[in-house]
């Protein structure tokens, strides 16, 4: 009888705990959807500050904006963490034309890739097209030398998860200039890494290698890539290009941090956040304004509901994810040197679209924990709870704190690469309800992590 009574008591307590969690999660969602601050906060970040490239005046204003906003919500601690970041500027707007055999000029929608050198005036050369980076690597030097390489490799539209399609052709942006320069190219232009066929070019980071000449690199819109390919097939075409971009010495910048102190284990930290910086086109609304606002709003709601966490809940607005990840790298080292114990981290950096679930970069046991949380989210139509990617900013914690699980917020991916790194990544292209649902999901997930770790 005593054993039966104990079992019944355990079941009763378990059901009671589940009911408590269910009610609290419902209250988090209610706050996000009816009393939320996220949409207005994102509007202000995008419209009052704008694009926020590391090292820029706008990035510094975003830091000040973020600190003031966190302080206005009355968190236990709000402070800045100093870092050093790369400083690259686009300069005068890029210009480019196709010059056809008959002399006709057609302008192109084009953006320099982040980190590219300029053209030092007008650069002109014959265009040679390759449909895959591997095709360029196999080319003869005589096919490329003295010409401008056009890498016309599209994202794979048959991939259901668009991040997989992006990963499949990212190398043309990251490595295209290096591979072209090895064969004597004058410059490289790539087809933008975007799904739709439109006029918006997509920028993003690229890199150079020592002992390989640096050549200019840029991206044309997908619509212009289609047109350019047709012109090349009609006969020899030349590209006329001018870019004024340049790099400067590293600049001083900051991560922006807010905390609610843990009541039981204050030195055990659950970090969650996104990156405050963005590329210098558009407004960085989805990438990653939505992510930092998701996490700020999650912490605000937990405080508003007077939740007292076991562990310290820390939101970090990381600086410099786009072209160096110095915010993430410096944060991990800084936390370790302070003697902190990072027990879990979450990142939101996949846009402000409708929530679908969470990934876990961790052990089998940690992934099992993620799976056990899935039933809490069934009423909110989240279904992805599986092994996967955490995020760039929190990635350095993996090597600094052995065994830490990294979680990635997973929204719907279908529209993300319509806006990623493009002038169209503006506040107007973020849906209010989808943004708020993301805040509710992340607030609830952090609550459950805190209770179950």
As annotated, the active-site residues are 321
Give the C-alpha separation, 130 to 254, whole Å: 41
> Using an 8 Å Cβ cutoff, are 174 and 217 in contact?
no
- Token pair of 379 as six digits: 């009423």
List the beta bridge partners of residue 148: 127, 187
Q: Dump the DSSP string for 203-247.
A: --B----TTS----EEEE-HHHHHHHHHHHHHS--EEEEE---EE
Looking only at Cα atoms, what is the longest distance across the chain? Answer: 97
3-state secondary structure of 25: helix
Give the C-alpha separation, 237 to 28, whole Å: 58
| 3-state SS track over 396-423 | HHHHHCCCCCEEEEEECCCCHHHHCCCC
Torsion region of 447: left, alpha or beta (phi above 0 gives left; psi -120 to 50 gives alpha):
alpha
Of 249, 172, 284, 156, residue with least CA distance to 217: 172
Give the C-alpha separation, 160 to 153, whole Å: 18
Q: Which residue has the tokens 């999660």?
A: 25
Q: No. of H helices and E strands in the chain?
A: 13, 16
């Amino acid at each position: 009888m005593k054993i039966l009574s104990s079992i019944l008591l355990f079941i009763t307590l378990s059901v009671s705990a589940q009911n408590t969690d269910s009610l609290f999660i419902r209250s988090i969602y209610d706050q996000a959807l009816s009393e939320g601050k996220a949409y207005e906060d994102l509007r202000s970040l995008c419209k009052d500050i704008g694009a926020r490239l590391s090292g820029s005046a706008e990035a510094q204003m975003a830091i000040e904006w973020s600190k003031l906003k966190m302080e206005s919500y009355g968190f236990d601690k709000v402070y800045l963490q100093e870092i050093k970041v790369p400083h690259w500027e686009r300069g005068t707007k890029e210009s480019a034309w196709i010059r056809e055999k008959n002399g006709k000029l057609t302008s192109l929608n084009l953006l320099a890739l982040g980190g590219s050198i300029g053209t030092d005036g007008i650069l002109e050369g014959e265009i040679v097209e390759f449909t895959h980076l591997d095709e360029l690597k196999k080319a003869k030097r005589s096919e490329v030398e003295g010409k401008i390489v056009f890498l016309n490799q599209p994202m794979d539209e048959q991939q259901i998860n668009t991040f997989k399609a992006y990963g499949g052709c990212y190398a043309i942006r990251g490595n295209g200039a290096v591979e072209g320069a090895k064969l004597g190219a004058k410059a490289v232009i790539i087809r933008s890494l975007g799904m739709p066929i439109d006029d918006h070019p997509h920028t993003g980071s690229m890199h150079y290698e020592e002992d390989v000449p640096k050549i200019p690199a840029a991206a044309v819109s997908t619509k212009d890539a289609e047109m350019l390919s047709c012109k090349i097939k009609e006969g020899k075409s030349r590209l006329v290009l001018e870019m004024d971009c340049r790099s400067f010495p590293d600049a001083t910048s900051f991560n922006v941090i807010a905390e609610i102190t843990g009541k039981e284990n204050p030195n055990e930290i659950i970090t969650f956040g996104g990156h405050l910086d963005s590329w210098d086109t558009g407004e960085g609304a989805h990438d990653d304004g939505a992510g930092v606002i998701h996490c700020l709003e999650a912490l605000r709601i937990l405080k508003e509901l007077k939740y007292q966490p076991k562990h310290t809940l820390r939101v970090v607005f990381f600086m410099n994810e786009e072209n160096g990840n110095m915010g993430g790298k410096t944060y991990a080292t800084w936390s370790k040197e302070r003697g902190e114990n990072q027990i879990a981290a979450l990142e939101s950096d996949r846009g402000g679209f409708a929530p679908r679930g969470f990934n876990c970069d961790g052990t089998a046991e940690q992934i099992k924990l993620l799976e056990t949380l899935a039933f809490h989210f069934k009423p909110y139509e989240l279904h992805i709870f599986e092994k996967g990617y955490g995020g760039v900013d929190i990635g350095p914690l993996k090597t600094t704190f052995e065994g830490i699980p990294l979680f990635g917020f997973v929204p719907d991916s279908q529209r993300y690469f319509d806006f990623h790194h493009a002038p169209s990544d503006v506040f107007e292209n973020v849906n209010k309800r989808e943004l708020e649902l993301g805040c509710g999901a992340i607030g609830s997930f952090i609550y459950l992590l805190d209770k179950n770790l």
